[in-house]
Structure 1
Amino acid sequence: MEPLRGFIFCTCFLVLVAMNDSVEASKHFKVGDHLGWQQPSANNTAVYTQWATSKRFHVGDSLSFEYQNDSVLVVEKWDYYHCNTNKPISSFNDGMTVINLDRPGLFYFISGAPDHCKKDQKLLIRVMGLHQRAESPPQVGLAPGPHPSSGLVVTVSLCSVFITLIVTVVTFV
């Protein structure tokens, strides 16, 4: 019975390690890369739009805004499009602001400096669900797998099953 218990324990351990490997680590993005957070030049007003569209943001990632003599306002959609600085959700002016992306959806940021937003110092990003590791492409003739967003639920369920199995084996042996 002892070899069977060891085999089951090792198998369960390896399955748990493999399942935990399916979620990638969070990423940290510096807004604007080397430019940081500043009023765009007249010939490069789309700099933040271009920067955001070249990235993929997921829940758990973070943004860092680096700036001088400026501020970062987290605002609602209407305030973003109208450059309204009167009622921000959050306001920062410390020169090094880190925003944790804690939910999927749209996030709106504008500069609080006078007229900077109207000169396109604003950022709109779309945050997707948790990071998922890239899977190998499906083979022809196979049915499609579950939607990627369902992976976390499956992982939690499988973890629960294997933990229960380990506890049961250890208890009865």
Structure 2
Amino acid sequence: MDSLATLPWKSKASTPIIGKDERLIFESRHHWTKHVPLFCVYALFFPLCLGMIGFTTRMNLSSPELSSFVLFGALITITVVQHWFFHAMLSENATDIILTNKRMFYLVHRLWLVDSMDELVLEKIKMVKVSRHGVVRHLLNFGELSCLFDVDAGKTFHFLPTPQVWARQIESMLNVG
């Protein structure tokens, strides 16, 4: 868990979202397993494009026009895949979940597209629910945390590391307040 003091772009003095009478309890990013599907798609397309480039060198003698077309397609595909992968990784890595003694924040920063912040006031939360289905989620210690306000309203945080610790802390603050 990172603290505001260790992150250079977030210091306690310059963080406008945390009030003067609030204390930082937890701060976290999504679990690293959220990046696995992105990496799998990248690991599939990158060797495929390299294979297409290698295929064009063998095909150049028999059909130079088709070889040029395949090479151009492979280079365009590899450029798009590289840019997509690194844009997605940088965008996914810039999501924060912050818990203070009064509020919970969900900050999403996507490169060029989205910059949003959801705020949950802890006094309005009626119930906190943790779900970790499957062996992998138990072994790697991540899951989903649902904060329920009324019967149908709520907010779910996916790929949250140690969701049971977050739930225990929120429930203890709800019982105290």
Give the TM-score normalised by structure 2.
Answer: 0.29
Q: Write 1 or 2 for the structure with the bigger share of strand.
A: 2
